[in-house]
Structure 1
Amino acid sequence: MSARTDTEAQETQAATGITPSTLSTIIKTKLEASHVDIQDLSGGCGQMFEAIIVSPQFTKKTTLARHRLVNGTLKEEIAAIHAWTPKCYTPEEWEKRKAG
């Protein structure tokens, strides 16, 4: 489902309650994330998100395990959207990435 107009986009977000802000709050709370940046790539309809998530809970986890952790945390929210792309980093990895 994608919105064709701004009105449809607002209605979709209102119906699902999913916004970058709500996703960010859940991730920060449940995954103890120190940095969360969520971009709505769907033009405001709340159906396609890309996220950068930095959490110490990712330490010693593979990329797949990190994605499973995030997806499990956002199970209900992900079910209501079209596309979700998380990029998961430990605090150490994030610092190296920012420095480089």
Structure 2
Amino acid sequence: MDLSTDYLREKLQRDLEADHVEVEDTTPNRCAFSFRVLVVSSKFEGKPLLQRHRLVNDSLSEELPHIHAFEQKTLTPE
């Protein structure tokens, strides 16, 4: 499974029609795959934090079981 920052960035951008996506690989500090992401998408407008995070988790549903730690920040374009 490809768990590169580029792969995750492209997948989130495509699935969430994101205006901006940043993916940071924080694996060197941990024992297994770990990432920190920032996603800016108009799909988050009017949604509470939990629903925003669910959209991200749904997008990465195949990848998340292979990721040890996953931090996310979800924002609207405003």
Identical counterparts, % of pairs: 39
Q: Could you state the TM-score of these two structures normalised by the residue count of structure 2? A: 0.92
For residues 5-16 of structure 1, the aligned pairs below 5 Å read: 16=1
Moved over 3 A (4+): none
1:84 aligns with 2:67: no
Query: Structure 1: which 5+ residue stretches go unaligned?
Result: 1-15, 93-100
More helix by share: 1
1:33 aligns with 2:18: yes
Say which of 46, 56, 59 aligns to 2:42: 56
Query: When the two structures are aligned, how many residues end up with a matched partner?
Result: 77
Query: Structure 2: which 5+ residue stretches go unaligned?
Result: none
Q: RMSD of aligned C-alpha atoms?
A: 1.6
**Quick one: structure 1 residues 46 and 35, their matched pair in 2 at CA, closer, same or farther if it must change by over 3 Å?**
farther
More strand by share: 2
2-structure distance, mates of 1:87, 1:69: 12
Partner residue, 2:59? 73
Q: Could you state the TM-score of these two structures normalised by the residue count of structure 1? A: 0.72
Residues 15-45 of structure 1, C-alpha deviations (whole Å, 9 max, x = no match): x311110000000101000100110111298
